[in-house]
Amino acid sequence: MARAKDHHDGWGSKLGIVLAVAGSAVGLGNFLRFPVQAAQNGGGAFMIPYFVALLLLGIPLSIVEWTIGRYGGQRGHNTAAGAFTELWHWRGAKYLGLFGVFGPWIIYLYYIYIESWTLAFSYFSLSGLYQTATNETAMSGFLQAFQGLAPNSTFPNIGTAYFFFLVTFALNLIVLAGGIQKGIEFVSKVFLPMLFLLAILLVVQIFWLGMPGASNPGWNQLVWQGLGYLWNPDLSRLGDSRVWLAAAGQILFTLSVGIGAIVTYASYLKKDDDVTLSSLSAVGMNEFAEVILGGCLVIPAAFAFFGPAQMAAIAKGGAFNLGFVTMPLVLQQLPWPHLFGFTWFFLLFLAGITSSISLGQPVVAFFQNVWGWRRGKAVLVFGALSFLLSQPAIFWLGRGVVDEMDFWGGTVCLVLFGALEMILFAWVFGMRRGWAEIHHGADVRLHPIFKFVIQYVTPAYLLWLLGFWLYDNAKTTISMAAVAPENRPYVLLTRWMMVGLFVALAVGMRTMLRRRRRIHELEAR
């Protein structure tokens, strides 16, 4: 697999790559998924397995992906499909690496639509469009009408949602077309600091300014109780394996490991760039955004406004309810509700776009590497195909299509690809060579215990996760037993769409590489 024609494109600074990888990790999951997972799994009880998974899964996977990416990049490969051929000189290795292209593309197809909601609600906040929705039922109805699930006089059809999808889709393509340095790095340097500032502003407002008026005298006390809910563990919940599984899944999701994005980003590093310190810095920024900012925003505010019992019930409704129904209601009670509503949704948009461009870049790099296209053509083809393939997530949202894509792209592929890269790195490439590669050019040396963790603990942990999820979900998912009969045709078509996409990628890669090999043979004669 040859290097892309515009391979001179690369990161302009060490800060740029760290912010870009942190931006890839800091996404909607930090502010929407994490609070829901914590609330559903016992608050403080969730945080113990969460940090265990961070140490045994998140950090080792992140370091290995940075290392694989840099190693592959020095040999002309900007995706996992190519990098895997350098770790394992077997013709089938590239097809295993293809999961690092397929997985992020599937996630991109529905993630960008959800991302567009945050931009829409940023506008709705400033315009005061949802201010008349003053209770959970009304706000939920507003969201469903906007999504086209229950049209009303405000949103008689899906046209408004589709408009914001088009705007968001175009913005993503513009950033990707700008390249690594002028597109992705520039946006990450601007958007990520802005995101942190907006999040800190909301945290300060919720904790210290409180709610005005004598009608809410206990607000501050309830907010601190909500924080206590997150950090005071109910140790009896630790015996529940589902809490451990949820924590591990959250770590993989939030750090964007097992997706292929970090491998692609790191492939543009220079030979002596430090992957250890850069990886730890990106992980640290993500955890600050998720645990400190995300945890201090949604859970304490929802706890104070709704109380622990109702908050847990809301969390069971999923991340959409907590982010698009609960938080707008909470922020309406604060001073300047239009401003703080905009702040909440715009920070979500900033988090979303820095993540979605990282999902698109592996596919663009794949087109460049395999077909030899320049970035402009690669982005154009990626955009056209993505636009077509994203339509089911928009028009069949209420048919279980997004859940289906999320299960295979955002759960199974994520764990499967993570397990594959850890096994290839530690056992095929070899831990001795891998350990040396990790520390090449490094200013910080890992404790030797991580050598054992990378070789034994992390692969075993991932295989256990994959096995348990397949055992617990595979039969129900494959048979569509949990899918309503009227929705099964839509889910089945989506499933065939995903299979077709993977086959098309594999066949296209095989065809182009064979054609290139024949050309080289003819030239050699």
Residues whose CB is less than 8 angstroms from the CB of residue 33 and which lie 6 or more positions away in sequence, other chains included: 250, 253, 254, 319
Nearest CA to 265 out of 365, 414, 378, 368 is that of: 365
C-alpha dist (Å) from residue 524 to 13, 198, 386, 513: 40, 59, 38, 16
Q: What is the CATH number of the domain that holds 194?
A: 1.10.4160
pLDDT at residue number 6: 46
Does the residue 7 lie in any domain?
no
pLDDT at residue number 523: 67
pLDDT averaged per 10 residues, the chain (length 525): 54 90 90 83 84 95 97 95 94 94 96 97 95 88 94 93 98 97 95 95 77 50 74 77 85 91 95 93 94 84 73 68 86 86 96 96 96 95 98 95 90 92 97 96 92 97 87 80 92 96 96 83 68
C-alpha dist (Å) from residue 303 to 7, 247, 307, 322: 50, 21, 5, 12
Q: Is 254:34 a contact under the CB 8 Å cutoff?
A: yes
440: left (phi over 0), alpha (psi -120 to 50) or beta: beta
179: left (phi over 0), alpha (psi -120 to 50) or beta: left
Does the residue 503 lie in any domain?
yes
pLDDT at residue number 219: 62
Does the residue 182 lie in any domain?
yes
Does the residue 3 lie in any domain?
no
Angle between helix axes 59-73 and 275-287 (nearest 10 degrees) is 140
Residues whose CB is less than 8 angstroms from the CB of residue 518 and which lie 6 or more positions away in sequence, other chains included: none
Number of domains in the chain: 1
Does the residue 4 lie in any domain?
no
DSSP 192-214: HHHHHHHHHHHHHIIIII---ST
DSSP 81-140: HHHHHHHS-STTHHHHHTHHHHHHHHHHHHHHHHHHHHHHHHHHHHHTTTTT--SHHHHH
Does the residue 174 lie in any domain?
yes
Does the residue 110 lie in any domain?
yes
* Whole-angstrom distance, CA of residue 172 vs CA of residue 353: 7
Tokens of 224: 């601190």
Q: What is the span of the domain harbouring residue 473?
A: 14-524
Number of neighbours of residue 326 by Cβ within 10 angstroms:
25
* Whole-angstrom distance, CA of residue 448 vs CA of residue 52: 18
Number of neighbours of residue 466 by Cβ within 10 angstroms:
17
- Write the burial class of residue 287 (CB in 10 Å: 0-12 exposed, 13-18 middle, 19+ buried): buried
Per DSSP, 2 falls in state P
Residues whose CB is less than 8 angstroms from the CB of residue 134 and which lie 6 or more positions away in sequence, other chains included: 329, 332
